[in-house]
Amino acid sequence: MTGPVIAVTGASGAVGGRVAARLARTGLSVRLLGRDPSRLPRLPGASPAPPAPYGDGEAMRRALDGAHTLFLVSAHESPGRVGEHLTAVDAAVAAGVERIVYVSFLGAAPDATFTFARDHWHTEAHIRTADVRHTFLRDSWYLAALPAMTGTDGVLRGPGGEGRVSAVAHEDIADSAAAVLTERGTGHDGVTYDLTGPEAFTLAEAAVELTRRTGRTVRYVPETREEAYASRARYGAEEWEVAGWVTSYEAIAAGELATVSDAVPTLTGRPARSLATFLRENPESYRHLLPDA
């Protein structure tokens, strides 16, 4: 292991795990953080930190002691998520971390339609006021979410209207993040990158692509807000969580997720994956939609 220590949070998750694996292959010094160290991946050259929940400032400070850079993946959605983020940022500064690369969300704003995007804006605002170099990676909807949110009945439903979404692949987020994290200079400092796919498409167009790939008819059924809440009531989730689900579609309808950026090709040197490419590369993502499933 060489160079300054890069601490990766959420290393057992979809984004953090991919980034950790990429960094480990470079031979850089990588430290993996998580609430449960037993769930952290075993990667050559990467070392696990003691348990470090975001909301435990002292545990985070100990886990980050001696780290130069923090790759901060957002905590799981909760009513207290912003507070957890702020505690983690403050702990990083107290531990002497010099740089934070934060995974935010496309269109993060205090009045964003998508309620969880507001959490990201407040986190960004706090990082901007901290004595630390920083870069924000604002990713769009995940491409993987489109088949995942399509029911076994072949219906993708939600109040997305005819809005467009520039969904992005986890792999492209991870490659972009790795490019930023492995840059030793200051060229990414203070920069916000919108990480998107190469195109913005409607949910009806996504259904057409899923139909083409699976060989069965997949439909998009637009819902009103009331219908969306009613169709999700069976999950028994708390109100704040259902509001996040519903407003993620409403953000599409409002045009807030239609931005298409060249950040992925600029950072990685190759095109971002389209929905068609993602589905071709990840057949397991739509297995539940296949005719014989």
pLDDT value of residue 268: 98
| Confidence band, pLDDT 50/70/90 cuts, at residue 227 | very high
- Rounded to the nearest integer, the mean pLDDT of the chain is 96
pLDDT value of residue 293: 63
What average pLDDT does the segment 225-237 reach? 95
Q: Which domains does the chain have, with CATH numbers?
A: 2-139+170-195 (3.40.50.720)
With a cut of 90, say whether residue 241 has pLDDT above it: yes
pLDDT in tens, 182-208: 998 899 999 999 999 999 999 999 999
With a cut of 70, say whether residue 1 has pLDDT above it: no
pLDDT value of residue 61: 97
The DSSP bridge pattern shows strands 164-165 and 201-202 to be antiparallel
The CB density around residue 23, as the number of other CB atoms within 10 Å, is 26
pLDDT value of residue 3: 80
pLDDT in tens, 205-218: 999 999 999 999 99
Contacts (Cβ under 8 Å, ≥6 apart) of 263: 176, 193, 194, 195, 196
Percent of the chain having pLDDT more than 70? Answer: 99
> pTM of the prediction?
0.96
Q: Please, what sign has the CA dihedral across residues 53, 59, 63, 65?
A: positive
pLDDT in tens, 255-284: 999 999 999 999 999 999 999 999 999 999
pLDDT in tens, 48-92: 999 999 999 999 999 999 999 999 999 999 999 999 999 999 999
CA–CA gap between residue 115 and residue 249 (Å, rounded): 11
pLDDT value of residue 292: 79
| Confidence band, pLDDT 50/70/90 cuts, at residue 180 | very high
The DSSP bridge pattern shows strands 164-165 and 155-158 to be unpaired
The CB density around residue 221, as the number of other CB atoms within 10 Å, is 15
CA-based angle 24:89:51, to the nearest 5? 55
pLDDT in tens, 15-52: 999 999 999 999 999 999 999 999 999 998 899 999 99
pLDDT value of residue 291: 87
Tokens linked to 85:
């983020």
pLDDT value of residue 266: 98
| Confidence band, pLDDT 50/70/90 cuts, at residue 177 | very high
pLDDT value of residue 24: 94
